Amino acid sequence: MNYKRLTLLCGHYGSGKTNVAVNMAFDLRNKYENVAVADLDIVNPYFRTKDSVKDFEERNIRLICSEYANSNLDIPALPQDMYAITDDKSLKVILDIGGDDRGALALGRLAPKINEEQDFEMLMVINKFRPLTPDADSTIEVMREVEFAGGIKFTGLVNNSNLGDETTAQDVIDSAAYANTVAEKSGLPVVLTTVKEDLFEELKGKVENLFPMKLQAKPIS
């Protein structure tokens, strides 16, 4: 994937935005020096990019995140250094936006500068196995709500359809029909299809723009 200066990840909650954000940041860091992950989640106090703070430190990736993430203080807080996202033009940033339109509200303050700079991708992370977005129409409804709340138009889709640890190669292949329908109806390209690492070899060549990912939240057997 050719990264713009800013890559914004939005989507229905539980669609896997944070997982995609963390993996994209690793990928981006392989190509650029000055990389940051910005966690603008004001909805969910758990499962934040902060879970991966050690991985970021090891790779010298800057984490722009509320100091209260993952703590017992359950309030919608934004990072104190969030203006670095728009003001420090030397940074390449992955933005992890909270779920749904309520989460996208956090974008409002940054939207004018992001729209003015015009160096961004706004990606909708979609997962057909999530119960409230099982088809194109329900997914596009969430997209419209997010755009309205966030003030930025989507430029592409990330097909992150998965059943967690039980995902099979066939599930990924089958999800293409769903992703393509969303693409057709919204007029946006599927820029990536994600897959957990162990399925990557099996699917290479069968699915376009395949993106291997390490799962950040470990399953409990």
Partner 1 sequence: MADKVLMKGNEAIAEAAIIAGCRHYFGYPITPQTEVAAYMAKKMPKIGGCFLQAESEIAAINMVYGVSSTGKRVMTSSSSPGISLKSEGLSYLAGADLPALVVNVQRGGPGLGGIQPSQSDYFQATRGGGHGDFHMIVLAPASVQEMAELTVKGFELADTYRMTSMILADGTMGQMMEPVSLDFDIKEAPEKPWATTGTKMQREHNIVNSLYLSPEKLEETNFERYEKYKYIEENEAMYEEYMVEDADIVVAAFGIAARVSKNAVNEARSRGIKVGLIRPITLWPFPTLPFKKAAEHAKQFISVELSMGQMIEDVKLATDCKVPVTLCNRVGGMIPSPEQVLEAIMEADGGVK
Residue 82, classed as helix, strand or coil, is coil
Is 129 near partner 1 (CB under 8 A)? yes
Is 118 near partner 1 (CB under 8 A)? no
Q: Residue 38 forms beta bridges with which residues?
A: 64, 95
Is 178 near partner 1 (CB under 8 A)? no
Is 134 near partner 1 (CB under 8 A)? yes
Is 163 near partner 1 (CB under 8 A)? yes
Q: How far is the CB of 122 from partner 1 (least distance, A)?
A: 23
CA-CA distance, 20 to 40, in Å (whole number)?
15
Q: How far is the CB of 100 from partner 1 (least distance, A)?
A: 9
Is 17 near partner 1 (CB under 8 A)? no
Q: Where are the alpha helices (DSSP H) in the chain?
A: 17-31, 53-59, 84-87, 100-104, 111-117, 136-150, 169-186, 197-203
Is 137 near partner 1 (CB under 8 A)? no
Is 174 near partner 1 (CB under 8 A)? yes
Q: Of 34-53, which residues contact partner 1 (CB under 8 A)?
A: 45-47
Residue 76: which residues within 8 A CB-CB, separation 6 or more?
42, 43, 106
Backbone angles phi and psi of 12, in degrees to 5 = -65, 150
Nearer to partner 1, 29 or 128 (CB): 128
Q: Where are the alpha helices (DSSP H) in 96-191?
A: 100-104, 111-117, 136-150, 169-186
Q: How far is the CB of 165 from partner 1 (least distance, A)?
A: 8
Binding site for partner 1 (CB under 8 A): 14, 45-47, 72, 74, 127, 129-132, 134, 162-164, 166, 168, 170-171, 174, 217, 219-221
